[in-house]
Structure 1
Amino acid sequence: MHPTRRTLLTATAALTASLALPGCSNSPASAPGSSGGQPKRGGHLRAAFAGGGAAETLDPHLSNLFADAARAKALYDKLADYGSDMTARPRLAERWEPNDALDRWTVTLREAEFHDGRPVSAADILYSYRRITDPKKAYRAKASLEPVDLEASRATGPRTVEFRLKRPTAEFPNVLAAFGAYIVPDGTDRFDKPVGSGPFRFVSFTPGRSARFTRNDAYWDGAPHLDALDIVVADEESARLNALLAGQVDYAHELSPSTARAHEHGGRVTIVRLRNSAMQGFVMKTDRPPFDDPRVRQAFFLIADREELVKGALSGAGTVGNDLFGKGYEYYADDIPQRRQDLDRARTLLKAAGAEGLRVTLDTSPVAPGFVEAAGIFRDQAARAGVTIDIRTGNKDSYWKDILDSGTLAGYRSGAMPIEAHISQRLLSGSTTNATHWRRKDFDALYQQMQSTKDTAGRSALYERMQRQLHTEGGFLVWGFADWIVGTSPRVRGVATDAPANTLDWARFDTVWLA
């Protein structure tokens, strides 16, 4: 998700207006830290996020920005959500069980209620999923629900759903945890006064300004510690930081590495680093020159000095990558040796491919932190191997669409998701966001074999085979994984420190309290 940016003046004015609400306590904290101590009930927390103006919504199926996602998490629940290692964890689903063929899954719901007292039922699940997959709508979770045959799926009891799938899907729990796959009451088509089953109840909402919620004492996972929660909008990082320093907000989302370094030890702000939150790299189009030759791709893998890229482009706020997605996640191939810069070997490969004196264009954009800086660093690294890179800076509003099929080499970034989802969405022959144009029938067959394999050990072996193939000849040059940085008031407790963005414990305010 890439938040819309506006001017600092507009952001600051909007934030100031948002904060002209009752219930804010600016009392100083007595002890720093984002966790620890005995939870304390009460208090009113304000959290600042970058926003999207009038486009902001409380319809959880339309969520696109981080602010939308944070509001959705406060109001609603999913059947499952992702842990820090991207494994699916039960939420509204108490359990799930497949048949032997892995093409039917029975999901049993826990006892939970919507904010109006109605029990969450199988009918609500089927309605929500069918709404998400409406062919006339562009709901974000639609692609994730593609394996499900919702016409054939049915309720087998008030709290039991039998999902029938179009094909065997061993990793079906990932579907239940998909971003945006929230459950709303059967028949819901308006969200001006939303009713969910989440930890907070709706009070008010002004798009581009603020949303207010109060504690749901009947929440199935335990009532939140906080009495109330405000999510306010401040597009510019400086506006969020200044509001945090001034005591106007208690939580500031999406801070830069330089901000973190400047304030980490000052005592006025607690910095929380969410590790392995964003993959950073370059994509090489494997279906066109010069990257249709695997030797050229291998040479580029060896040109990259990953430590220098992490230090320069991410200001050190991250870890090196190994040309594979999902470091720290379930099924990541840790035993593949770390690739390091080897310019002599890179030159040899380029010469063997007839690509000496190669000149290529690298597309980049200020669409995400570190993109432009990474392009410049990699250009200089490539020059030492005899490769000339011309940098072309694109429009940040259309960048992701532009690089999907055009060009040959481009800067790339991805947020957290299961490795299975990364493969299915970006690396299969029919994947709709296949930016590397990696299309291999043997690779597709391994993926299908993995989805048809019931035992975890068997699936792990197949995941490793796929990752070894990608590491050797794929089109993703993954040089690093960026930290996601959040700032809080020292009085805030309970903020998870091991929760990549878009996982269960990211932006989760029902477990937070004020000291």
Structure 2
Amino acid sequence: MFNLDRRRFLGLAAAGAVSTGSLLAGCAPGGAPGAGAPKPGGRLRAAFSGGGAAEVLDPHETSLYIEIARSKALFDKLADYGNDMSPQPRLAERWEPSADLRTWRITLRQATFHDGRPVRAADVLASYARITEPGGSRRAKSSLSVIDLPASRAIDDRTVEFQLKRPYAEFPNALATLGAYIIPEGTEDFSQPVGSGPFKFVSFEPGKSFLAARNPDYFDGPPLLDELQIVVTNDEAARVNALLGGQIDYANDLTLTSARTYESGGQIRVLRLPRSNFHGLAMKVDRPPFDRIELRQAMFHLTNREELVRSVLQGSGQIGNDIYGRGYRYYADHLPQRSQDLDKARSLVRRAGAEGMTIDFDTSDASTGLKEAALAISDQARQVGLNLNVRLGNKDTYWSDIADGSVLASYRSGAMPLDSHVSQRLLTSSTTNNTAWQRPEFDELYNAAQSTTDENRRAELYTRMQEQQFNEGGFVWWGASDWIVGAATKVGGIDEEAPANTLEWARFDKVWLA
């Protein structure tokens, strides 16, 4: 990491805005697709930010959006999230819980792997055993660890009976969680991966390019495309330039500046995928200085959410209220909306003994807005006597770097149900617990919520969990925004209502080229 000089950054940003603006003038509106009726054939070229040589094809190790897109092309899960964040059956044809919510029977649909083998109950059990194996930290581990795998069984090739360690009313959410992909039993080598997804593996060069071909036997119908190519372009302006120049057909994760510049033109389409991005910062609550609750609360009160939405999101977003998932099921919208209170923040800083303290504040270009938000928040903190030393990290390794090595970091999340947010990030057993929040009483509330079939009781328990986070937690969720992608006018079939991380996002098997 290296220190980011704010004045130098602002100068470069201003210069970049001028050159980019002149280049992007006159591009297409998102509401004027020119792809016509669906037709087969062709190669779609999609550009994403990447992770360099560290990128993997192992679907159980996915963490980057580009890795998720590749995994969706090659593999399937038992379920995935719909546009409303409800679990939708995929390889699972249906699921049935027992009355006590501790036994779930899953019936598999008829599907085959790319090598012709059928997808069996044994493959499901082996996949979940690999994800949850002791000592590992695979992404879906915390969500799937509720399963008592030794007690679970394959009733026949198409029926799995899961025994759970505790009642879990929202168990289908675990089946849909990121990284819970089904692979053939015994698979460990992913140099030429075999899945059951809509595309078959052709080639892969980490940090550069991935190529896959149409799977004619896909259970949900073969893709219209002949081939899918996913290329790495870490610079957003370069993604836009490539889209304008016809070198690519789809550009993931565009900035608000770029979107505003070209969505009123005619060369490309701008698609704003709703309820996709949640913006915040993460404080480690288990170590100085944020082991002091007063300092965490000072951060809540010094943050000017309106200014951040105006400057970082350029007015295209909603303010947050320091708890995740505004608008989602069980969201605690009764909590009073926080606004900046500098007097209260100064008082809390004094009570924490932190006046004049310098705190390293990690950020990166890994996702749009991370850097800009850190700079704005550091200015806000200066008003209450805190010096937040903004450090720009390696965008290829940022998320793994801040997992253990950062006390304060810019943060961003895609869409997921509140159940998944809690189970993956806020339980003692969570594998992506970036605030190091570990509270046995909080874990008990979550377990109680999953033990009841009473929706009102579950909502009450989620409310209590969110109240703890609102008052004492390590996340400051200051805003929410759309996910923005760009596409050539010849591209059809993109679902414009699909939040990032859901079934229909980056679902290239439903896309066609005019």
TM-score computed with the length of structure 1 as normaliser: 0.84
Change over 3 Å in CA distance of 1:35–1:447 after alignment to 2: farther
How far off its partner does 1:267 sit? 1.3
Which residue in the other structure is 1:442 paired with?
441
Q: Distance in 2 between matches of 1:36 and 1:454?
A: 46
**Structure-2 separation of matches of 1:128 and 1:407:** 32
Q: Secondary structure at the match of 1:151?
A: helix
Measure how far apart 1:344 and its partner are: 4.2
1:271 CA drift (Å): 1.3
Identity percentage over the alignment?
55
In the alignment, what sits opposite 1:361?
A: 359
* Cα distance change, pair 32–446 in 1 and its aligned pair in 2 (3 A): closer
Number of the residue aligned with 2:259: 260
The one-character-per-residue Cα deviations of 1:350-370 (angstroms, maximum 9, x if unpaired) are: 67x476956452512224433
State the partner residue of 2:12: none
- Kept in 2, the 8 Å contact 1:446–1:462? The answer is yes
Aligned counterpart, 2:479: 480
Q: Could you tell me how far 1:445 is from its partner in structure 2?
A: 2.0
Structure 2 CA distance for aligned equivalents of residues 108 and 317 of structure 1: 43
**Residue deviations 1:208-256 (CA, integer Å, cap 9, x gap):** 4433333333322223232332223333333322221111211111222
State how far apart, in whole Å, the 2-side matches of 1:143 and 1:309 are. Answer: 32
Equivalent residue, structure 2, for 1:388:
386
Query: Which residue does the alignment assign to 1:303?
Result: 302
Q: Once the 2 structures are TM-superposed, how far is the Cα of residue 109 of structure 1 from its aligned partner? A: 0.8
Superposition deviation, residue 310 in structure 1: 2.0
Deviations 1:317-362 (A, max 9, x none): 43211101122333222333322223344456567x4769564525
Residue in 1 that maps onto 2:152: 153
Point out the more displaced range, 388-397 or 267-276. 388-397
1:192 and 1:446, CA in 2 relative to 1: closer, same or farther beyond 3 A? closer
Deviation at residue 90 of structure 1 after TM alignment: 0.9
1:490 Cα deviation from its structure 2 partner: 1.3
Single out whichever of 37-46 and 399-408 deviates more from structure 2: 399-408
Inter-CA distance 99–51: structure 2 relative to 1 (3 Å threshold): same
2:264 counterpart SS class: coil
Residue number in structure 2 paired with 1:379? 378
1:465-491 deviation digits (Å, cap 9, x = unpaired): 211232233232111124322110012
* Aligned partners of 1:35 and 1:495 also within 8 Å: no
Match of 2:131 in 1: 132
Structure 2 match to 1:118: 117
CA contact 2:140–2:180 (8 Å) conserved in 1: yes
Give how far 1:30 is off: 12
For residues 459-498 of structure 1, the aligned pairs below 5 Å read: 459-498=458-497
Confirm whether residue 426 of structure 1 aligns to residue 425 of structure 2: yes
Distance 1:480 1:435 in 2: 18
1:278-357, aligned counterparts within 5 Å?
Answer: 278-287=277-286, 291=290, 294-347=293-346, 353=351, 357=355
Runs of at least 5 residues in structure 1 that lack an aligned partner in the other structure: 1-27
Structure 1 window deviating more from structure 2 (468-477 vs 445-454): it is: 468-477
Deviation at 1:496, TM superposition (A): 1.8
Aligned residues: 486
**8 Å contact kept, 2:139–2:431:** no
Distance 1:52 1:287, change over 3 A: closer
Structure 1 residue 508: Cα displacement: 0.4
Give the CA deviation at 1:154: 0.8
| Shift of residue 182, structure 1, vs aligned partner | 1.4
* 1:44-93, Cα deviation, whole Å (9 max, x unpaired): 32212233454444332333433232222112211011123332211111
| Structure 1 residue 394: Cα displacement | 5.5
Cα distance change on mapping 1:63 and 1:404 into 2, 3 Å: closer
CA distance in 2 between partners of 1:486 and 1:201 (Å)? 25
Contact 1:35 1:494 in 2 (8 A): no
- Root-mean-square deviation (CA, aligned residues, Å) is 3.1
Q: 1:511 to 1:184 in 2, by over 3 A?
A: same
Q: CA deviation at 1:377?
A: 1.7
Give the 5 Å matches for 1:218-229. Answer: 218-229=217-228
1:38 to partner: Cα distance = 4.2
User: Quick one: structure 1 residues 31 and 340, their matched pair in 2 at CA, closer, same or farther if it must change by over 3 Å?
Assistant: closer
Q: Who is 2:99 aligned against?
A: 100
